[in-house]
Amino acid sequence: MAKLKLTYFDFDGGRGEPARLALALGGIAFEDHRVAGKDWPAVRDQTPFWAMPTLEVDGKVVSQSNSINRYVGKLTGLYPQDDWQALLCDEVMDAAEDLGTRIGHTIDLPEDARKKAREELVAGRITRYLEQFQARLKTAGGEHFADRRLTVADLKIFMLVRWLRSGVLDHIPKDLVDRVAPLLVRHFERMTGHPGIVEYYRRRKAA
C-alpha cells in the first residue's frame, strides 16, 4: 500500500473532508496533515496549483479535490467501477465543487457586495443546483447518488449540505436546503448517522 499524506486546513469540513472520510471509512492508513489558516500563505507556494487539499502518494504530490476523491474512492471501494455510474458520481462531485467555489468567491467581498452576491446565488444557482441534486438523487433510487451504494459523491454532497445548513453563511438561509430539497436533508441525516462517520467524528473529538 502506498504511503499517503493528505494536507488540508485544520477543521472538519470543506474540500478536504470527503477524502478524509473516504480513507477513514475504507480503513486506509494516511497522515492527516492539517494546516492552520494563519499558516496558509507560507504553504501556498508549495502546492502544485496554489490550492488544498493535496495528496502525497509515496512522496509525489497532487492536488484538486475531486481528483483526490476519485483516487481515494478507488482505493477504498467508494467509487463506481461501471463507467456510467462513475460518470454520475463525477457529475455530482463537479457540480458541488462548482457551487462551493461560487459561494467561496463571495467570502471576502465587502458586506454590501457579499449580501447582493449571495442573494443572487440563492435566487438562482444555489436553488437550481439543489433542485438538480435532489432530482439526481431521486433518479438514482433516493438513497445514494450513484451505484445504489455509498460513494465519494455522497460524501461530497454531505459536506456541501452541512455547510449550507450550518448558519455560518450570512445571507444564505440555513433552512434553504430544507425548503428546496428535502430529499437532500434525508440523505444528510442518513450520512450523519452512518456508523463509520459517527465513529470517525467520535475519534476526532477524543483525540
CATH code, 181: 1.20.1050.10
Domain count along the chain: 2
pLDDT at 206 over 90: no
Cβ proximity of 5 and 56 under 8 Å: yes
Whether residues 63 and 92 share a domain: the answer is no
Domain boundaries, position 103: 83-192
C-alpha dihedral (142, 94, 154, 59), degrees to nearest 10: 160
| 204 within some domain | no
Share of the chain above pLDDT 70, in %: 100
Share of the chain above pLDDT 90, in %: 98
Whether residues 100 and 180 share a domain: the answer is yes
Average pLDDT, the chain: 97
| 92 within some domain | yes
- Outline where DSSP puts E strands in 126-169: none
* Cell, residue 49: 496549483
At 1, is the pLDDT very low, low, confident or very high (cuts 50, 70, 90)? confident
